Amino acid sequence: MALLEYALIGGILYGIFFSLVGIGLNLIFGVMRIINLAHGQFIMLGGFGAYLLARGLGLNPLFGIPLAIAGGIVIGYPLYYGVVPRLQKSQDPEMLSFILFFGIAQMIEAVAVFAFGADQRSLPQDALGSGNIGVLGQEFPDSWWVACLVSVLAILGLYLYFSRTRLGFATRAIMADRDEARATGIDVDRVSAIALIIGIALAGIAGVFVPYLIGSVSSSIGDGLTTTSFAIIIIGSLGNPLGTVVGGLVFGIGTMLMQTYYSSWSNLAPYALLLAIVLVRPSGLLGKAVRRA
């Protein structure tokens, strides 16, 4: 029973964090129908940003959060206006974005290797707290709880953005039908650029905690994080950002259960679960179909 409690509580913490890992990718796809294969590399940049702050300047890694938001603005705004409108005019924007962002991902990784090398880097283990917090007799590091809290706040902030702001309403309209939203007078390019900025910023914020939840950050970690993010958003609902929370929890609990009881199969289990869910519900657990052009 103790092992089951450990796996469930740890899986919830792990899953909430991985909801943050995947939610930016789902937001960008939902708004622009862009397959951002550089998503994991943006997470990796967030991790290295926190590393530079902690190891280079002696600051708390949490200062990486405003740095990630600033990075989202600096990267997202020119990236949108330099690339996305041209993609949207193509006959197959999804496939073209697949190719383009694959190239962007490789460029980011090459720059990271040049700047940081190929070695794994870690953050001070006591920077987010040196103790453990227990629930039902099961203890987990402070860093896990901090990552979970920040993830909840970020996801809640995105929910409030969707439900309480005019830009959020416009974003939802674009997700429902881009052409119809444009016809009603919504500045589609402006709203989409903001969505791209938010998506990249959320990825960077998740990257701040990657060294604590995964163990380290390295230049080569991006592709694996992109794959994991795709698995999470497909489990939840592709094109529905808040559905990512469901996918993240399923992924996190499934992973922790397998690590607890069948550790040798833990890397395979979440993707086997993904295949099973897709076979039963191709549109994900929340059942929202991907919109068509």
- Express each pLDDT in 79-133 by its tens digit: 999 988 888 777 787 788 888 999 999 999 999 999 999 889 988 888 887 778 8
Q: Is the pTM of this model over 0.85?
A: yes
Residue 124 lies in a domain: no
- pLDDT attached to residue 97: 87
Give the per-residue SS3 of the chain.
CHHHHHHHHHHHHHHHHHHHHHHHHHHHHHHHCCCCCCHHHHHHHHHHHHHHHHHHCCCCHHHHHHHHHHHHHHHHHHHHHHHHHHHHCCCCHHHHHHHHHHHHHHHHHHHHHHHHCCCCECCCCCCCCCCEEEECCEEEEHHHHHHHHHHHHHHHHHHHHHHHCHHHHHHHHHHHCHHHHHHCCCCHHHHHHHHHHHHHHHHHHHHHHHHHHCCCECCCCHHHHHHHHHHHHHHHCCCCHHHHHHHHHHHHHHHHHHHHHCHHHCCCHHHHHHHHHHHHCCCCCCCCCCCCC
Amino acid, single-letter form, for residue 273: L
Residue 288 lies in a domain: no
Residue 42 lies in a domain: yes
pLDDT > 90 in the chain, percent: 56
Is residue 287 very low, low, confident or very high in pLDDT (cuts 50, 70, 90)?
low
Residue 11 lies in a domain: yes
- Express each pLDDT in 14-70 by its tens digit: 999 999 999 999 999 999 888 899 999 999 999 999 999 998 888 999 999 999 999
- Express each pLDDT in 160-185 by its tens digit: 999 999 999 999 999 989 889 999 99
Amino acid, single-letter form, for residue 62: L
- pLDDT attached to residue 46: 95
- pLDDT attached to residue 278: 78
Residue 271 lies in a domain: yes
Which residues make beta-bridge pairs with 23? none
Which residues make beta-bridge pairs with 217? 121
Domain hosting 37: range is 2-110+142-280
Residue 96 lies in a domain: yes
Is residue 290 very low, low, confident or very high in pLDDT (cuts 50, 70, 90)?
very low
Residue with token string 């203890």: 139
Structural domain total, the chain:
1
141 has pLDDT over 80: yes
- pLDDT attached to residue 291: 47
> Residue 10 is part of a domain; what is its CATH number?
1.10.3470
> CA 115, CA 51: separation in Å to the nearest integer?
13
Residue 162 lies in a domain: yes
Is residue 146 very low, low, confident or very high in pLDDT (cuts 50, 70, 90)?
very high
- Express each pLDDT in 238-251 by its tens digit: 878 878 999 899 89
Residue 130 lies in a domain: no
